């Protein structure tokens, strides 16, 4: 809850003061920054999956994809591309790169200031996706087509932008 004596979101520069990343962006908590521009910043994850694991974070308050301005999302991806290239050229172990973004608790989101993970991959790095059993028994083509029809309808229902 924001009291009247606290700065509003604009005065804070758009940061949500209630997440750890807002505190990092605001300089209240330490982080190892590798990039910053007028829309996004990138700093190293405190619990890296592999050395060099970087988080690309919007400066504006956005807990979810739905709240993220599209231009900021585009910049996040552009910066993630650059960080990926930097990781490959950094001398850190990096034979490949994964991007990962968790939108919502069910997707594994734990910090509610959106962020794009960029982390190096290399042989025997210990990271594996745990896939459900259904993955190994693909559904009938008609089920995939039915899902596609639902998604096309939802896309058509969206406002342009
Ligand atoms: P997610 O589960 O996608 O929300 O990811 C949150 C990420 O934030 C995790 O990889 C954490 O290790 C990372 N994290 C949490 N606190 C900090 C912090 N103070 N500095 C850097 N990374 C952090």
* 41 and 33 Cβ atoms separated by less than 8 Å: yes
Residue 15, C-beta contacts closer than 8 angstroms, at least 6 positions apart = 9, 22, 25, 26, 59, 61
Q: What is the pLDDT of residues 36-92, one digit of tens each?
A: 999 999 999 999 999 999 999 999 989 999 999 999 999 999 999 999 999 999 999
Residues with CB under 6 A from ligand 1: 20, 29, 31, 45-47, 102, 108-111
Q: Where are the domains of the chain?
A: 20-130
148: Cα separation from own chain's centroid: 25
Nearest CA to ligand 1 atom 15: 46
Query: Does residue 2 have a pLDDT over 80?
Result: no
**Residue to probe by mutation, ligand 1, list 99, 111, 117, 119, most atoms within 8 Å of CB:** 111
| Structural tokens at position 93 | 């172990």
Task: Determine if the pTM surpasses 0.75.
Answer: yes
User: Is 53 considered catalytic here?
Assistant: no
For residue 161, the model assigns a pLDDT of 58
* Atom number of ligand 1 nearest to Cα 109: 4
d(CA 87, CA 22): 25
Q: What percent of the chain has pLDDT over 70?
A: 88
Select which of 18, 53, 113, 115 is catalytic: 115
d(CA 113, CA 117): 12
d(CA 41, CA 27): 12
CATH code for the part of the protein at 20-130: 3.30.428.10
Strand pairing class (54-58; 33-36) = unpaired
Nearest CA to ligand 1 atom 12: 47
**What does 44-89 look like in DSSP terms, one character per residue?**
E-SS-SSTT-EEEEESS--SSGGGS-HHHHHHHHHHHHHHHHHHHT
**Residue to probe by mutation, ligand 1, list 25, 42, 47, 57, most atoms within 8 Å of CB:** 47
């Amino acid at each position: 809850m924001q009291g009247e004596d606290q700065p509003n979101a604009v005065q804070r520069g758009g940061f949500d003061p209630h997440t750890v990343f807002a505190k990092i962006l605001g300089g209240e908590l330490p982080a190892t920054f590798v990039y910053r521009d007028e829309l996004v910043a990138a700093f190293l994850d405190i619990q890296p999956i592999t050395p060099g694991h970087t988080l690309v974070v919007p400066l504006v308050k956005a807990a979810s994809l739905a709240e993220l301005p599209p231009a900021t999302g585009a910049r996040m991806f552009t910066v993630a591309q650059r960080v990926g290239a930097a990781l490959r050229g950094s001398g850190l172990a990096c034979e490949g790169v994964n991007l990962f973004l968790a939108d919502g608790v069910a997707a594994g989101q734990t910090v509610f200031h959106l962020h794009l993970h960029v982390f190096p991959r290399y042989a025997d790095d210990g990271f594996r996706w745990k896939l459900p059993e259904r993955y190994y028994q693909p559904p009938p083509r008609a089920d995939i087509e039915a899902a596609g029809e639902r998604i096309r309808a939802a896309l058509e229902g969206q406002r342009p932008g």
